[in-house]
């Protein structure tokens, strides 16, 4: 069975997340998107944990099911903040677990190190090697995946707080790391430039802070499994058997692809940064060095080179972005929602529209300009103005940007937290969209 999975999500108990995040909403919008497996997010948070135990049932496979049978895997993102080699480190890790019994043991360990009730993504002063060792003592069935490995502030290779290798970060516990999450600002092709990453599976997940289809599943991983069980999923992550490909956004779309200063309106390619010695020409302070620059720094291969075992990937942006671009209207507006529903009728779900439905079917539900843009997106040929220093990249149509919504400032404005903030969206009523007929 082929499954598109998004295994890095959050609950409403994580900072800067939608207050409407719930298992029923995640299930509903996963079906609209075309996802077949979700991470639960935030399993260590006591209130969310109660909700998970109420909404999801275990059946011995390690995959939990809703009352309607939609599958989830227990998952949490953990933030580790500590000092190593005289440098402050801030590393985010995605943790997968096979049962509530194991989750309870993980939670007890975390509670011995600090609090788990203040944020769904709890923070601890624990070195990565120590954390991995402790979790492996609980169960070697636990999977630990370094999250969004290139973002500057909270990641394995981040320019502000990261390391230069997996081994430098995890020490002799690196043997328990099997997969790496590429993050929005990088794609597999960029990661192929580091030969030392050849032995790791490259996976992509959304790190979504809401259930809306322009966030959930925007990056995901495709698995081909004989049966959907936790053991088969973990085997795919550890051995490649069953891991087919990843679905990525164009890395230019990510918040940290280029270098820059958002407050100064400065966005530089790595070459431009070098000309300015990594300094902002406006405020005269160091630029936030983005993912492309950091990859260049650590790469030992030329662009386009890769290992013989490299997995393929697709590069697309969410359908709402395309509709917003063509209709010149905000993604959460009624105008976009109505068109979204109309186009969905041509396929089974959003991924079907984005990846499979032929032009002759799309033209029945959308005009030629819209269809051409969908197809250009499918081919990875949509132009995107690169994101930088916490600002998303901007899709362009004939050189023009989409309508820009006025969005509330994130709940936390520090640069270190800017990547975590999800822009609040107003709820959309089914009656406004026609989606009531879809569910």
The string of pLDDT tens digits covering residues 322-343 is: 999 999 999 999 999 999 999 9
The chain-wide mean pLDDT, for the chain, equals 92
**For the chain, what is the largest distance between any 2 Cα atoms, rounded to a whole number of angstroms?**
61
Task: Give yes or no: residues 330 and 242 share one domain.
Answer: no
- Same domain, residue pair 247 and 336: no
295 belongs to a structural domain: no
* 167 Rama sector, left if φ>0, alpha if ψ -120 to 50, beta otherwise: alpha
The Cα 135–Cα 166 span in angstroms is: 18
Confidence bin at 26 (pLDDT 50/70/90): very high
Q: Do both 372 and 239 map to the same domain? A: no
How many domains does the chain contain in total? 2
Q: Do 337 and 220 share a structural domain? A: no
Show which of 236, 253, 270 is a domain's final residue: 253
- Residue 273 placed within a domain: no
Residues 15 and 96 in one domain: yes
The pLDDT value recorded for residue 402 is 59
Residue 65, strand partner residues: 57, 71
Look at residues 247, 254, 264 and name the one whose alpha carbon lies nearest to residue 290: 254
Range of the domain at 358: 319-437
pLDDT of the residue at 427: 42
The pTM (predicted TM-score) of the whole model is 0.92
> How confident is the model over 37-55, as pLDDT tens digits?
999 999 999 999 999 999 9
334 & 207 share domain: no
At which of 253, 283, 298 does a domain end? 253
Within a domain: 263: no
Q: Please say whether the beta carbons of 391 and 255 come within 8 A.
A: yes
Residues 370 and 240 grouped into a single domain: no
95 part of a folded domain: yes
Q: Is the pLDDT of residue 228 over 90?
A: yes
Cα 2 to Cα 179: distance, rounded to the nearest angstrom: 19
How many residues are there in the chain?
439
- Provide the H-helix boundaries in 198-328: 230-239, 270-275, 291-298, 319-327
Residue 266 has pLDDT above 60, yes or no: yes
48 shares its domain with 155:
yes
- Tens digit of each residue's pLDDT (9 = 90 or more) over 73-97: 999 999 999 999 899 999 999 999 9
Same domain, 226 and 346: no
Could you say which of 232, 253, 274 is where a domain stops? 253
Asked if residue 155 has pLDDT above 60, the reply is: yes
């Amino acid at each position: 069975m082929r499954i598109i999975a998004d295994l890095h999500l959050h609950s409403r108990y994580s900072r800067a997340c939608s207050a409407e995040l719930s298992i029923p909403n995640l299930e509903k919008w996963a079906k609209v998107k075309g996802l077949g497996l979700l991470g639960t997010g935030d399993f260590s948070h006591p209130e969310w944990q109660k909700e998970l135990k109420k909404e999801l049932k275990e059946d011995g496979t390690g995959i939990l099911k809703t009352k309607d049978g939609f599958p989830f895997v227990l998952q949490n993102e953990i933030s580790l903040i500590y000092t190593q080699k005289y440098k402050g480190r801030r590393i985010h890790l995605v943790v997968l677990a096979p049962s509530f019994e194991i989750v309870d043991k993980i939670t007890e360990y975390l509670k011995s190190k600090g609090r788990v009730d203040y944020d769904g993504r709890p923070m601890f002063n624990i070195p990565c090697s120590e954390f991995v060792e402790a979790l492996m003592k609980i169960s070697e069935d636990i999977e630990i995946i370094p999250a969004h490995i290139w973002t500057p502030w909270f990641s394995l290779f981040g320019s502000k707080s990261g390391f230069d290798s997996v081994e430098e970060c995890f020490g002799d516990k690196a043997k328990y790391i099997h997969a790496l999450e590429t993050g929005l600002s990088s794609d597999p092709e960029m990661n192929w430039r580091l030969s030392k990453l050849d032995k790791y599976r490259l996976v992509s997940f959304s790190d979504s802070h809401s259930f809306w289809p322009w966030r959930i599943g925007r990056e995901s991983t495709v698995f081909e499994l004989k049966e959907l069980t936790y053991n088969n999923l973990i085997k795919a992550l550890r051995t490649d058997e069953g891991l087919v490909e990843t679905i990525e956004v164009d890395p230019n779309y990510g918040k940290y692809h280029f270098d820059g200063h958002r407050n100064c309106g400065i966005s530089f390619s790595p070459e431009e940064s070098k000309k300015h010695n990594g300094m902002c020409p406006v405020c005269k302070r160091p630029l936030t060095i983005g993912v492309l620059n950091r990859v260049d720094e650590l790469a030992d291969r030329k662009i386009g080179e890769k290992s013989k075992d490299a997995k393929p990937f697709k590069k697309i942006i969410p359908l709402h972005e395309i509709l917003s671009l063509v209709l010149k209207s905000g993604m959460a507006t009624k105008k976009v929602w109505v068109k979204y529903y109309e186009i969905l009728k041509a396929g089974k779900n959003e991924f079907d529209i984005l990846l499979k439905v032929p032009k002759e079917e799309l033209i029945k539900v959308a005009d030629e300009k819209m269809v051409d843009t969908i197809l250009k997106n499918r081919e990875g040929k949509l132009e995107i103005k690169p994101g930088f220093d916490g600002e998303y990249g901007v899709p362009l149509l004939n050189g023009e940007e989409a309508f820009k919504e006025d969005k509330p400032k994130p709940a936390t404005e520090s640069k270190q937290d800017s990547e975590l903030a999800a822009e609040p969206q107003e709820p959309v009523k089914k009656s406004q969209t026609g989606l009531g007929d879809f569910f």
